[in-house]
Amino acid sequence: MAQLGSDVFFSTIGELNARLVAKEISAVELARAFVERLQQLGPRYNALVLSLKQEAIRQAEAVDKEIKRGRLHGPLQGIPYGVKDLLSYAGQPTTWGAKPYAAQVFDYNATVIDRLDGAGAVITGKLSMVELAGGGGYRYASASLTGPGLNPWDRTRWSGGSSSGPAAAVAAGLVTFAIGSETSGSIITPASFCGVTALRPTYGLVSRHGAMALSWTLDKLGPFAHSAEDCGMILQVIAGKDSSDPGSAGRSFYYTPQYARPLKELKIGYAPGDFTDRAEPSARAAFDAALAVFKAAGAQLTGVQWPQFPYGPVLSTILAGEEASIFEPLITSGNVDQLADKSQIAGLKAALDLPAKDYLRAMRIRRLIQHAFSNDVFTQVDALLAPGRSGPAPKIDQPLAPPPGATPAAPPTPTPPPAGLAGIIPAGNLAGLPALVVPCGLAENLPVALQIVGAPFSENLLLSIGKEFQARTDWHKRRPPGA
Amino acid sequence: MKVSRRQVTAAVLVGQAIRLSAAPEAPDAELQAARDRLKTNAQALSAVSVPRDTEPAFQFKA
């Protein structure tokens, strides 16, 4: 068997699978190498919660037998991956990143894990997250059972959250891909800060069964990987109807790059100010260069009529209502006080006071938002383009929200409309829209990224845009220093 | 005063119900700030015109 070089840790799914099928390397060799790397380097970034070494070797042995018999199950066969620790794995702790649940064990697998197992992928570990996916609102990066997620590009910086471990593990080459989740920003943010490609699918496309619920109507599971193409291959495996998930859209997904429309045929909505005045100064050059790639490819970048709604307050209200119900036992028992972040504790407690009328009003406005995106936005453009985040990752000890008492007074009514595509993260999540994050450059030697947002179930379009961008750039192949 | 076993049982159940429904008291700046944020959010939502026939974005099916 060939000696495994360090390149293997940053290879794409296609590259690794080709070597496995050609029997250049064995699945067991690959699993051992990745498990050891995850065990050794995962703690460096507070990315690893639990190594699943025995399971990985067992699964890899089964893969090698299948490959030897010529039974090939697709590109994910033999590929090592990790999962955010809000996904249940039978017989092993699933901590939800939170002290009150540190010893929690389920006796079943999350559906996405079963699907990946069926495709021959090899699970190597549970990866870290912000406690309870940060739903109560957290002020510091340390809001986690495993401590702050550290960025592989600079460990004095935050990896982002709440899918801290998945993003850091892919960026540092500790897994080939990972599964994370997003309620509002928890895939977009860490992918942007860690410089990895990631996909937030349409709500309901991927089963939530076996995943911690933070918000029944906002939660989505999605892949972190080394390329848009890898995300497409992963989504094909994990997507699909699941009767165990009441929110399942009942639709499958087939990754069809052969039908991709080139960028020159597409109309992409954006707000120039998002990449200039409203971007952090250090990131503007990178964003400018990224936009130039789109223009050089012939994409029609155009302004778009952006529906004016208070996206943040609508999402926060819906989230508060649902998380209060989900975590009511935690809150009323007092165990909520064991959480690491005081702002998170307070947010969850306060959420119990939310009047039903407020939740319902937010859900009615949500229907107006969905209608506006379907009938106004995506009739004008094929997709939307915005920065993933306005700049690079913050320092670990930098507050992520203002301290109590520093909250500004309620804005004057009528509220002035937000500038540009501000609010695209809550807006996209409220409307259940898919989004692809692609790294697009460096600012202060740290990654910055773009997000491409589409209509419901337009993942193939987003992936084709991402794939073409990644054919013209190499940001997605860059590695953290020393990796 | 004689208290029946039924009355004792009822009192215990009521006490349990009260404990389960009340959040632990934590009157501090963080909690007040969180409550204020909910109120600010509610104000923002009340400024949005919602047509009367707009239903919530979820459906119940029998």
3-state secondary structure of A217: coil
B33:A410 CB<8 A:
no
For residue range A328-355, list pLDDT tens digits in order. 999 999 999 999 999 999 999 999 999 9
Smallest CA–CA separation between A239 and chain B, in Å? 21
Give the list of residues 6+ apart from residue B62 with CB closer than 8 angstroms, or none: none
Chain B residues within an 8 Å CB radius of A136: 34
At residue A138, the pLDDT reads 95
For A406-421, the three-class secondary structure string (H helix, E strand, C coil) is CCCCCCCCCCCCCCCC
Does the N-terminal peptide bond of residue A128 adopt cis geometry, omega within 30 degrees of 0? Answer: no
Contact A49, A126 (CB under 8 A): yes
Contact A66, A73 (CB under 8 A): yes
B41:A368 CB<8 A:
no
Q: At what angle do helices A356-372 and A311-326 cross, to 10 degrees?
A: 130
Assess whether pLDDT exceeds 80 at residue B17.
no
Tokens of B32: 């007040």
B33:A404 CB<8 A:
yes
Smallest CA–CA separation between A330 and chain B, in Å? 10
At residue A220, the pLDDT reads 98
At residue A219, the pLDDT reads 98
How would you write the pLDDT of chain A (483 residues) with one tens digit per residue? 456 888 999 999 999 999 999 999 999 999 999 999 999 999 999 999 999 999 999 999 999 999 999 999 999 999 999 999 999 999 999 999 999 999 999 999 999 999 999 999 999 999 999 999 999 999 999 999 999 999 999 999 999 999 999 999 999 999 999 999 999 999 999 999 999 999 999 999 999 999 999 999 999 999 999 999 999 999 999 999 999 999 999 999 999 999 999 999 999 999 999 999 999 999 999 999 999 999 999 999 999 889 999 999 999 999 999 999 999 999 999 999 999 999 999 999 999 999 999 999 999 999 999 999 999 999 999 999 999 999 999 999 999 988 887 655 555 455 555 578 989 999 999 999 999 999 999 999 999 999 999 999 999 999 999 999 999 999 999 999 988
Interface probe, candidates A367, A374, A430, chain B, greatest B C-beta count within 10 A: A367
- What DSSP string describes B21-59? HSPPP--SHHHHHHHHHHHHHHHHHHTS---TTPPPS--
Amino acid at A45: Y
Cα B60 to Cα B62: distance, rounded to the nearest angstrom: 7
Of all residues in chain A, the one with the smallest CA distance to B34 is A347
At residue A419, the pLDDT reads 77
Question: Is A38 exposed, middle or buried, given 0-12, 13-18 or 19+ CB atoms closer than 10 A?
Answer: buried
From the list A163, A264, A229, A129, the residue with the least C-alpha distance to A476 is A229
Distances (CA, A) of A23 to A17, A29, A71, A284: 10, 11, 13, 45
Place of tokens 């920003």: A185
At residue A210, the pLDDT reads 98
Which helix (H) or strand (E) segment holds residue A168: the answer is: helix A164-171
Let me know how many helices (H) and strands (E) chain A has, helices first. Answer: 16, 13
Q: Can you point out the beta strands (E) in A42-186?
A: 48-51, 80-84, 122-127, 150-151, 154-158, 177-182
At residue B59, the pLDDT reads 78
Between B19, B24, B32, which is nearest A404 by CB? B32
Chain A residues within an 8 Å CB radius of B44: 310, 313-314, 411, 415
3-state secondary structure of A212: coil
Q: Is A340 on the interface with B (CB under 8 A)?
A: no
Amino acid at A314: V
- What DSSP string describes A8-59? GGG--HHHHHHHHHTTSS-HHHHHHHHHHHHHHHGGGGT-EEEE-HHHHHHH
The residues that bridge with A267 in the sheet, in sequence order, are A300
Distances (CA, A) of A106 to A91, A109, A132, A212, A324: 6, 8, 16, 11, 22
Contact A204, A461 (CB under 8 A): no
B28:A361 CB<8 A:
no
Between B30, B43, B45, which is nearest A346 by CB? B30
At residue B25, the pLDDT reads 45
Of all residues in chain A, the one with the smallest CA distance to B31 is A346
A332:B19 CB<8 A:
yes
Place of tokens 């010529």: A70
The residues that bridge with A105 in the sheet, in sequence order, are A93
Give the number of other Cβ atoms within 10 Å of residue A148's Cβ.
Answer: 23
At residue A20, the pLDDT reads 97
What ipTM goes with this model? Answer: 0.88
Reported pTM: 0.93
Interface probe, candidates A316, A322, A348, A360, chain B, greatest B C-beta count within 10 A: A316
Cα A22 to Cα B58: distance, rounded to the nearest angstrom: 49
Does the N-terminal peptide bond of residue A447 adopt cis geometry, omega within 30 degrees of 0? Answer: no
Smallest CA–CA separation between A134 and chain B, in Å? 14
3-state secondary structure of A304: coil
A361:B45 CB<8 A:
yes
Chain A residues within an 8 Å CB radius of B26: 337, 345-346, 349
Chain B residues within an 8 Å CB radius of A336: 24
Contact A264, A216 (CB under 8 A): no
Tokens of A304: 């778009």
At residue B24, the pLDDT reads 45
Cα A1 to Cα A33: distance, rounded to the nearest angstrom: 14
Question: Is A292 exposed, middle or buried, given 0-12, 13-18 or 19+ CB atoms closer than 10 A?
Answer: exposed
Which helix (H) or strand (E) segment holds residue A469: the answer is: helix A459-472
At residue A412, the pLDDT reads 47
Q: Is A351 on the interface with B (CB under 8 A)?
A: yes
Chain A residues within an 8 Å CB radius of B61: none
Chain B residues within an 8 Å CB radius of A317: 38, 41-42, 45
Contact A444, A472 (CB under 8 A): no
